[in-house]
Amino acid sequence: MSRKDDFFEIITEGYKCKGDYLTFGSAILDGETLKDAFVNVPLKTLNRHGLIAGATGTGKTKSLQVMAENLSEKGVPVLLMDIKGDLSGLAQPSAGHKKIDERHEAIGLPFNAKKFPVEILSISEQEGVKLRATISEFGPVLLSRILDLTETQSGIVSIIFKYCDDNKLPLLDLKDFKKILQFSTEEGKEEIQSEYGRISSMSTGAILRKLVELEQQGGDLFFGERSFDVKDLVRTDEDGKGIISILRLTDIQDRPKLFSTFMLQLLAEVYATFPEQGDSGKPELVIFIDEAHLIFKEASKALLSQIESIVKLIRSKGIGLFFVTQNPKDVPEDVLAQLGLKVQHALRAFTAKDRKAIKLASENYPDSDYYDIDETLTQLGIGEAFVSALNEKGIPTPLVATMMRAPMSRMDVLSDKELKQLIDNSRLYYKYNENIDRESAYELLNEKIELINEKEEVEKKKEAAVKSSRTSSKSRKSTRMNPILKVVTSATFIRGVLGILKRVI
């Protein structure tokens, strides 16, 4: 048996699936695409998370698009974080191209142009279904970690939440939380201190500065009502296709704090809401996080620890997480170790540092008798990638260079008109885009402060009245001179002025 035949047999056996699966493409050996040597990934293993990595322009986004399409066809809902704004084309079929036909002929797969059900979401001023959450839903622990607070400051946040719970003060948006922080060290200082302990004004000042930083990154748009129900991410259309929710994030690339805040809250909410599922036939939801380095870019150790914990635990809820980034080193090692599927596009080596990075990246993959991994990583073409997955038994599959199939949907973005029409037809748009500003902590505390001020004003008036009364009484007493004093005064006057006191006596 030739080397090529031996390799073909290893690949077809290693990527054979009894259950449902996604076909990524066909194997490449020595620069040749092996027709019908399909790289299949079991659908049931996609809640084991994954990585799509590679240099700019190597085809990462198209691999993401292909996976989203195939998941949707299998009835699995998808959430895409669209940082670059180039995924909306999923809503329209591909226009086709000669090169696409040639690619699929080499792979051994027919090409069918299709469109997919898409929902456009937003957490900023961009158009789309608004995703919001209240401060109360975050809770004191998560909010403290997002703000990177000290232990003392976190304790104050817990006290604030407890006080608001006990006094039925809803914490909905940032202005509510800022107001209660100010109240705790000013008008409400004595009330809170007597019941819950002393709160330092220096600590509340530091917390307020962290809130202002988050607010400047757009947090005021994210916190509030109506809260987004994560169950609305898990929907299918009338044909049974999973709905692909695309979160537009093109205007927050320079606001990593808001992005990481949103992602952590979303994952925490999904974990808290979804029931335990374990390893079923297919995932409940698959989330793709493009430009994943933005989550980890300015994350504190506490925040990273929270993300790592959720990545480890959320698999049991049937949720798959896929991180899309340029280099695997962008993802913390503890998270990287949890990723069962890896799709590694080409890496470019322009410097000694780049070559070291490629060496490190190659060590993330199983050894292979058929590839020099370091060298092949730099020679992969556009739309080609190393694939390493888990089979149906959870065992790693052979490492294989793969000619990836082309997206069935449009590889370009929607026009403004098409995008508007898609948003206008959304079933969720009018559910979540209504501006709600009901009575909450901000308004209730203002009323409470007014009552305190009124009470203080009444007390001041009483004190002023009492003081005035005492002054008036003292004045009246001084005008009624004692008779003895009169005599003494007269005698003194006579002696001092006239000098005849002794002679009179």
- Tell me whether residue 467 is in a domain: no
Same domain, 292 and 162: no
Q: Does residue 147 lie within any of the structural domains?
A: yes
Residues 266 and 351 reside in one and the same domain: yes
The verdict on 206 and 275 lying in the same domain is no
**Pair 54, 82 in one domain:** yes
Mark whether 333 and 242 lie in a shared domain. Answer: yes
The C-alpha atoms of residue 84 and residue 414 are separated, in whole angstroms, by 13
> Residue 409 forms beta bridges with which residues?
93
Task: Determine the distance from the C-alpha atom of residue 368 to the mean position of all C-alpha atoms in its chain, rounded to a whole number.
Answer: 38
For residue 42, what are the β-bridge partners? 21
pLDDT of 276 > 80? The answer is yes
The DSSP annotation for 280-305 comes to: -SS-SEEEEETTTHHHHTT--HHHHH
Indicate whether 89 pLDDT > 90.
yes
Q: Is 488 within the bounds of a domain?
A: no
**Chain position carrying tokens 């704090």:** 257
Distance between CA atoms of 211 and 144, rounded to whole angstroms?
Answer: 10
Residue 49 placed within a domain: yes
Residues 247 and 124 reside in one and the same domain:
yes
CATH number, position 94: 3.40.50.300
Whether residues 23 and 155 share a domain: the answer is no
When divided into structural domains, the chain yields a total of 2
Confidence of residue 330 (pLDDT cuts 50, 70, 90): confident
Buried b or exposed e, range 400-426, using 16+ CB within 10 angstroms: bbbbbbbbbbbbebbeeeebeebbeeb
Question: Which amino acid is located at 313 in the chain?
Answer: L
CA distance linking residue 344 with residue 377, whole number of Å: 8
Sign of CA dihedral 471, 474, 478, 480: positive
Q: How many other CB atoms sit within 10 Å of the CB of residue 58?
A: 22
What pTM does this model have? 0.82
Residues 403-432: tens digit of each pLDDT: 999 999 999 999 999 999 999 999 898 888
Say what the pLDDT of residue 110 is.
Answer: 94
In this structure, the answer to whether residues 240 and 122 fall within a common structural domain is yes
Residue range 451-493, pLDDT digits in tens: 666 665 666 677 666 776 666 665 555 555 454 444 444 444 4
Of the candidates 412, 425, 431, 429, the residue with the CA atom closest to the CA atom of residue 126:
429
130-187 residue pLDDT tens: 888 888 888 888 888 778 888 899 999 999 999 888 888 888 888 888 888 888 888 8
Spatial CA neighbour of 66 closest among 286, 252, 271: 286
Neighbours of 89 (CB within 10 A): 22
Residues 179 and 237 in one domain: no
For 214-223, the pLDDT digits (tens) are: 888 777 778 8
What value does the mean pLDDT take over residues 356-383? 87
Residue span of the structural domain in which 80 resides: 3-130+228-432
Q: How confident is the model at residue 438 (pLDDT cuts 50, 70, 90)?
A: low
Residues 93 and 212 in one domain: no
Helix 256-273 to helix 301-313 angle (10° resolution) is 30
The reply to whether 173 and 244 lie within a common domain is no
The terminus-to-terminus CA distance of the chain in angstroms comes to 152
- pLDDT: is 350 or 405 the higher one? 405
Domain co-membership, 245 together with 326: yes
Query: d(Cα 438, Cα 335) in Å, to the nearest integer?
Result: 40
Which of 432, 458, 473 is the endpoint of a domain? 432
